[in-house]
Amino acid sequence: MKGTVQFNGSCSEPFSISSGVKQGCVLAPTLFGIFFALLLKHAFGSATEGIYLRTRSDGKLFNLSRLKAKTKIRETLIRDMIFADDAAVVTHTQEELQSLMSRFSMACKDFGLPISLKKTNVLSQDTVTPPAITVDDYQLDVVHQFTYLGSTITDNLSLDAELDKRIGKAASTLARLTTRVWTNPRLTIATKMAVYNACVISTLLYGSETWTTYARQERRLNAFHLRGLRRILGITWQDKVSNFEVLTRAGLPSMYTMLRQRRLRWLGHVRRMEDGRIPKDIVYGELASGKRTTGCPNLRFKDVVKRDMKAIDINT
């Protein structure tokens, strides 16, 4: 393999590359993280575009009046969210997004990092016309939903599309294990439940720590959970066994309890984070500009965890 060095607009003579990290090397993630951090600093070092939050973590989470104070408030900028080589850039307007994408594209060229344009999409909310964002004269596709880090994000903020995929994948996993596990007479109920937790529940509730679920969505998940347990335990509707008895025989909690445990565990992690971490700033903050719609606004993560805490008698 050969490489060249670009400096002041000109390239050096090609030279052989005889050292470096190989596929699977444990140093590769760290080195790439350093490389990508420098690229982002080069791209956005002087940029002011993005989404600004007002945040304050010295009071109660649900006391939103604390964010109206004139002191002790920090304003933080959310602009790019990175995981490995997957990047998400967020702004309020089309013009700001185009500016950031142009900066990012130029920085990638300077660092010799190609952008996969066919895998790069634009997802907008509350726009009359689809935004036209271009990178190197290539107009990015505008989509209504996008899979990012395994979770489906939609432009209408609905969790239904994500639940469809989660339930579909969990049902497929449940079906594939029928012969080897669920109907295997040599396995105990405890072993079957351990496999069910490890394979089915983990697939079903992937990313559920941050889900903002409505009651109807939780009922749907609980119905799938109970159907799966009845199938594993060999219980039919003719047996007239209550849902409580099914959960007792399986030794597992209801889906409502599982969701509550995961959300509150994640909230505890966020609470213990240092100030300045993005998850903590988002949970303890609000948008610096704009306001919620009148009437019946969308449910927020804060609303759901407050409901969870009240359900187990934790003072909010």
Share of the chain above pLDDT 70, in %: 98
Which region among 1-5, 17-21, 236-240 has the lowest average model confidence (pLDDT)? 17-21
Q: What is the pLDDT of residue 83?
A: 87
Among 97-106, 167-176, 284-293, the range scoring the smallest mean pLDDT is 284-293
The helices-and-strands tally (H runs, E runs) of the chain is: 10, 15
Q: Alpha-carbon distance 98 to 47, whole Å?
A: 12
User: What is the model's pLDDT at position 1?
Assistant: 66
Amino acid 299 reads L
- pTM summary value: 0.84
Residue 204 CB: number of other CB atoms within 10 A?
A: 23
Nearest to 231 by CA among 292, 282, 286, 183: 183
> Residue 156 CA to chain centroid, in angstroms?
16
The single-letter code of the amino acid at 39 is L
Give the pair of three-digit tokens for residue 240.
């007239």
Residue 307, token pair as written in the block: 């409901």
Using left for φ > 0, alpha for ψ between -120 and 50, and beta otherwise, residue 20 falls in left
For β-strands 138-139 and 134-135, DSSP reports them as antiparallel
Rounded to 5°, angle at Cα 109 from 103 and 111: 105
* Residue 24 in this model has a pLDDT that exceeds 80: no
Q: How far apart are the first and last CA of the chain?
A: 61
Q: What is the pLDDT of residue 79?
A: 92
Confidence at residue 291, expressed as pLDDT on a 0 to 100 scale: 81
Residue 218, pLDDT > 80, answer yes
Give the residue from 45, 25, 31 showing the smallest Cα distance to 84.
Answer: 31
Half-sphere exposure of 56 (CA within 13 A, CB side): 17
- Give residue 63's pLDDT: 85
8 — pLDDT class (breaks 50, 70, 90): confident
Predicted pLDDT at 23: 63
In terms of Cβ atoms closer than 10 Å to its own Cβ (0-12, 13-18, 19+), residue 114 is exposed
Task: Please report which confidence band the pLDDT of residue 2 belongs to, taking 50, 70 and 90 as the band edges.
Answer: confident
Q: What pLDDT sits at residue 19?
A: 66
- Say what percent of the chain tops pLDDT 90: 67
pLDDT tens digits, 48-65 = 999 999 998 887 888 888
**Contact assessment for residue 255 and residue 222, using Cβ atoms and an 8 Å cutoff:** yes
Say which residues have a Cβ less than 8 Å from residue 68's Cβ, sequence separation at least 6: none
Tokens for 139? 């107009």
DSSP H or E segment with residue 44:
helix 28-44
Which of residues 289 and 180 earns the better pLDDT score?
180
Whose tokens are 């005889």? That residue is 18
- pLDDT tens figures, 141-154: 999 999 988 999 99
Using a CB cutoff of 8 Å and minimum separation of 24, what contacts does 22-29 make? 29/84
CB distance 50 to 78 below 8 Å: yes
Task: Output the pLDDT for position 22.
Answer: 67
Angle subtended at Cα 141 by Cα 136 and Cα 142, rounded to the nearest 5 degrees: 130
Residue 311 near residue 111, CB atoms below 8 Å = no
